[in-house]
Amino acid sequence: MGMSGGVDSAVAAALLLEQGFEVIGVTMLIWNPPGLDRADQGGCCWLGAAEDARRVAARLGVRHYVLDFQDVFYDTVIRNYADEYRAGRTPNPCIRCNEFVKFGALLRRAEQLGAERVATGHYARVRWDEKSCRWLLLRGLDARKDQSYALYRLKQDQLARTLFPLGEMDKSRTRALAAELELPVANKPDSQEVCFVPDNDYPTFLAQLVPESRREGAIVDPDGQVLGRHPGVAGFTVGQRRGLGLSSSRPLYVTRIDPETNRITVADGDHASLFAREVIATDANLITLKEPGGPCSVTAKIRYNMPDRPATLVIEDEERLRVLFQEPQRAVTPGQALVCYDGELVLGGGVIERAA
Q: Got the DSSP string for 26-81?
A: EEEE----TT-------STTSHHHHHHHHHHHHHHT-EEEEEE-HHHHIIIIIHHH
> Are residues 13 and 60 in contact, defined by beta-carbon separation less than 8 angstroms?
yes
Phi, psi of 207 (to 5 degrees): -65, -35
Q: Is residue 31 part of a domain?
A: yes
Residues 280 and 259 in one domain: no
| Structural domain harbouring 59 | 7-199
Residues 292 and 254 in one domain: no
Q: Is residue 2 part of a domain?
A: no
Kindly report the pTM of this predicted structure.
0.91
Residues 222 and 98 in one domain: no
Residues 27 and 172 in one domain: yes
Among 199, 233, 254, identify where a domain stops: 199
Q: Could you write out the DSSP letters of every residue in 261-325?
A: TTEEEEEETT-GGGEEEEEEEEEEEESS--S-EEEEEEEEESSSSS--EEEEEEEEETTEEEEEE
- CA angle (165, 170, 171) in 5-degree steps: 95
In tens digits, the chain (356 residues) has pLDDT values of 999 999 999 999 999 999 999 999 999 998 776 554 444 444 555 567 889 999 999 999 999 999 999 999 999 999 999 899 988 999 999 999 999 999 999 999 999 988 999 999 999 999 999 998 999 999 999 999 999 999 999 999 999 999 999 999 999 999 999 999 999 999 998 876 677 777 777 778 888 887 877 889 999 999 999 999 999 888 799 999 998 989 888 999 999 999 999 999 999 999 999 999 999 999 999 998 666 667 999 999 999 989 999 999 999 988 999 999 999 999 999 999 999 999 999 999 999 999 98
Among 169, 199, 229, identify where a domain stops: 199
Indicate the number of domains in the chain.
Answer: 3
**Catalytic machinery residues:** 97, 195
